């Protein structure tokens, strides 16, 4: 049974920060490059980049201790304040992607941690150990959730969403991302009856981690560590919960964009695409595309015509190629993955990693961050290949949310950075300190 609870959040005092929320919000920590971090920190003294990622260069107090001190300072000065009540928080995002306008509604709450069979929270991707350690260090030092884990759950009738009501002009906030044309609306839901009904409805749902696997894993590790160091503490405390953003799986606003890859040094291991060795596993559909957009359009058109066909796009520095998997499996693949589900075997990302890289090319660096980079934008992948001869870009079609759901429920995982749920939840809408844990719900508003 899933356990999703309301909580007492901490939020920015909007007038104290200049009357506009957007300048203090940041992307999720793993989207903040050193350059982006520097820009955000210089743009506003209260931008979340000051807390969630370390600053470059010499600093007086090392991160994450600097994050704890700064957050405490914000609390003491009144820049951020605890809300007067305990509840859920509605969150609506209106955005445009490829000319289509979408609206995605969800809410923030606390989710009980634990193994999937107990907590009903299912991961779908593997994680990078070094990334996981930075999130663990931050929660150890601050005992605060700054960023939510993004979860999706089945609710075809959006029963939970109907209970959130509409944004409140007094206690709600609105922020607009002018670059991405995304409008965020965020408001507290402090009605006890509605909160209790949401809890009841969520108890029967399985939850799927869409984004935030490292944050979730770090929270689990911290809970285990804390209980080991506090053996006489209650069996369930605040450390056993994680602040999450939850939205229905069926929402049209749940978009998954493909994550393309650039493999450094792969070209010398890649045989001629028309060779007999490659032809057994991959058919060259065409290499007559003038740029990455034409290739991506052809890949999607191929999938639309033949939903079960698996295609990859490839750029080796000179030509754009569309490859179609023939269905043949290398002997090593058939032996190693005999017990895998058909859903796992059919994912494009696994055709790339398990069939092409490991099975055919015997190249085992495909998930090593020293040898691979990940790109939402295909153009940046092409630019990297042009700047680094010997690299190869591989383009993927997007994975459907229902494929991700089936995979997670089967207990299987995709390689790191296989899905890109869009848009992300900005950091800074609300925070939660573990010490504020309470299972109750206020009844401030009806």
Same domain (yes/no): 336, 247:
no
| The dihedral sign for the CA sequence 311, 312, 313, 317 | negative
Same domain, 216 and 324: no
Name 126's Cβ contacts closer than 8 Å, sequence gap at least 6. Answer: 213, 367, 413, 414, 415, 416
For residue 410, being part of any structural domain is answered with no
Pairing of strands 88-97, 100-112: antiparallel
Q: Would you say residue 416 lies in a domain?
A: no
The answer on 284 and 239 residing in a single domain is no
Burial class (CB in 10 A: 0-12, 13-18, 19+), 381: buried
Asked whether residue 201 falls in the same domain as residue 289, the answer is no
Per-residue pLDDT tens digits of the chain, which is 446 residues long: 799 999 999 999 999 999 999 999 999 998 999 999 999 999 999 999 999 999 877 567 899 999 999 999 999 999 999 999 999 999 999 999 989 999 999 999 999 998 877 788 999 887 777 778 999 999 999 999 999 999 999 999 999 999 999 988 778 999 999 999 999 999 999 999 999 999 999 999 999 999 999 999 999 999 999 999 999 999 999 999 999 999 999 999 999 999 999 999 999 988 888 888 899 999 999 999 999 999 999 999 998 999 889 999 999 999 999 999 999 988 877 777 778 888 888 789 889 998 999 889 988 887 777 899 999 999 999 999 999 999 999 999 988 888 888 888 888 888 777 888 999 999 999 999 999 998 766 665 54
CA 64 to chain centre: 22
Q: Are residues 273 and 189 in the same domain?
A: no
Could you tell me if residue 137 is inside a domain? yes
Looking at residue 70, the DSSP 8-state letter turns out to be: H
The answer to the question of residue 413 being in a domain is no
Whether 282 maps to a domain, the answer reads: yes
Same structural domain, 47 and 168: yes
Which domain CATH number covers 145?
3.90.1530.10
How many domains does the chain fold into? 2
Residue 227 contacts residue 351 (beta carbons within 8 Å): no
Q: For residues 389 and 411, what is the distance between their CA atoms, to the nearest angstrom?
A: 39
Statement to judge: residues 308 and 165 lie in one domain = no
**What residue numbers bound the domain in which 15 lies?**
4-255+422-436
Domain annotation covers residue 62: yes
Pairing between β-strand 311-315 and β-strand 392-395 as defined by DSSP bridges: antiparallel
Based on the fold, state whether residues 210 and 289 are members of the same structural domain. no
Residues 121 and 168 in one domain: yes
Question: Residues near 380 by Cβ (< 8 Å), separated by ≥ 6?
Answer: none
Are 183 and 289 in the same domain?
no
Question: Same domain, yes or no, for 69 and 136?
Answer: yes
| Domain membership flag for residue 343 | yes
Whether 164 is in a domain gets the answer: yes
| One domain, residues 158 and 176 | yes
């Amino acid at each position: 049974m899933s356990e999703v609870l309301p909580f007492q959040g901490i939020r920015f005092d909007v007038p104290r920060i200049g009357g506009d929320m957007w300048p203090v919000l940041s992307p999720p920590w793993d989207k903040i490059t050193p350059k982006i971090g520097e820009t955000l920190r210089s743009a506003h003294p209260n931008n979340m980049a000051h807390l969630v990622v370390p600053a470059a260069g010499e600093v007086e107090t090392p991160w994450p201790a600097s994050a704890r001190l700064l957050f405490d300072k914000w609390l003491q000065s009144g820049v951020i304040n605890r809300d007067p009540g305990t509840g859920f928080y509605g969150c609506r995002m209106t955005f445009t992607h490829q000319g289509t306008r979408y609206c995605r509604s969800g809410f923030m709450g606390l989710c009980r941690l634990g193994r999937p069979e107990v907590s009903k929270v299912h991961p779908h991707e593997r994680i990078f150990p070094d990334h996981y350690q930075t999130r663990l260090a931050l929660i150890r030092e601050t005992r605060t959730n700054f960023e939510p884990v993004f979860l999706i759950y089945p609710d075809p009738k959006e029963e939970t969403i109907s209970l959130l009501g509409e944004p409140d002009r007094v206690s709600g906030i609105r922020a607009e991302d002018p670059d991405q044309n995304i409008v965020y609306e965020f408001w507290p839901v402090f009605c006890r009856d509605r909160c209790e009904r949401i809890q009841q409805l969520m108890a029967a749902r399985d939850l799927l981690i869409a984004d935030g696997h490292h944050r979730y894993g770090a929270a689990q590790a911290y809970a285990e560590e804390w209980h080991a160091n506090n053996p006489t503490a209650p069996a369930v405390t605040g450390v056993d919960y994680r602040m999450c953003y939850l939205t229905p799986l069926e929402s049209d606003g749940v978009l998954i964009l493909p994550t393309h890859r650039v493999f450094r040094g792969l070209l010398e291991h890649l045989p001629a695409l028309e060779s007999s060795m490659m032809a057994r596993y991959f058919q060259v559909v065409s290499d007559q595309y003038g740029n990455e957009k034409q290739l991506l359009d052809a890949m999607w058109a191929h999938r639309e015509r033949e939903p079960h066909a698996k295609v990859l796009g490839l750029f080796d520095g000179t030509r754009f190629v569309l490859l179609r998997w023939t269905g043949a499996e290398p002997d090593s693949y058939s032996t190693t993955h005999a017990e895998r589900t058909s859903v796992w075997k059919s994912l494009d990302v696994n055709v790339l990693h398990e069939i092409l890289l490991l099975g055919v090319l015997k190249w085992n660096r495909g998930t090593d961050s020293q040898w691979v980079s990940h790109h939402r934008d295909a153009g940046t992948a092409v630019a990297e290949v042009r700047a680094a001869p010997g690299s190869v870009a591989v383009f993927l079609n997007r994975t459907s949310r229902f494929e991700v759901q089936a995979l997670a429920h089967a207990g299987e995982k995709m390689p790191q950075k296989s899905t890109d749920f869009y848009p992300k939840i900005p950091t800074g809408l609300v925070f939660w300190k573990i010490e504020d844990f309470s299972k109750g719900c206020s009844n401030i508003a009806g």
